[in-house]
Amino acid sequence: MSIIVTDTGFAADDWTGPFRDAAQTIANDCAYAVDIASDTDPATLARLTNAPMIRIDFPSFADGRGFTLAAMLRRAGYQGRLRARGHVIADQYAMARRAGFDEVEIDDTMAARQPQSQWLARADWQQNHYQARLRS
């Protein structure tokens, strides 16, 4: 079972629609949410901006390519729901939110190792954002 992490804590997954692999998704097809791998070619992202949800896979907590893909999607104008899935740890939650993710999907094992309190400790992701302080 998957657990969805948001700024308010743990929740059950409320997405009821199907997911499609990005390679199978037809441009401007709004009927499906899209799964993309962390090694997806950034040039292909523009054709996914009409999907209601995009879920980016994190095969390892040390693989940060998903953060870059999320930021690129947001800069390209993606307004839908953006979810990180896989090996994202609580320490990376603030970075995930700043990159453009709305939520993180973890499994029960990860939730047991890193309980809700650890995720909520990083839920104030707009606070202590050193890059924003440098820009002002």
pLDDT in tens, 30-82: 668 899 999 998 888 888 888 899 999 999 988 999 999 999 999 999 999 99
Largest CA distance in the chain: 43
The CATH label, of 3.30.40, 3.40.50, 3.40.190, 2.60.40, for the domain at 2-135 is 3.40.50
Q: Which range, of 54-58, 109-113, 131-135, averages the lowest pLDDT? A: 131-135
Residue 132: the pLDDT is: 59
Mean pLDDT of the chain: 88
pLDDT at 49: 82
pLDDT score for 23: 72
The dihedral region occupied by 36, where left means phi > 0, alpha psi between -120 and 50, and beta the remainder, is beta
What lies within 8 Å, CB to CB, of 115 at 6+ separation is none
CA 26 to chain centre: 21
pLDDT, mean of residues 116-126: 86
Q: How far is CA 104 from CA 26, 58, 96, 129, in A?
A: 25, 10, 8, 19
Let me know if 30 is exposed, middle or buried by CB neighbors in 10 A (0-12, 13-18, 19+).
exposed
CA 83 to centroid of chain Cα atoms: 3
Task: Enter the tokens of residue 99.
Answer: 């990159």
Segment among 15-19, 24-28, 121-125 with least mean pLDDT? 24-28
pTM for this prediction? 0.87
The confidence score (pLDDT) of residue 128 equals: 60
* pLDDT given for residue 44 in this prediction: 85
Domain ranges of the chain: 2-135
Alpha-carbon distance values, 52 to 33, 67, 82, 86, 101 (Å): 6, 19, 9, 20, 13
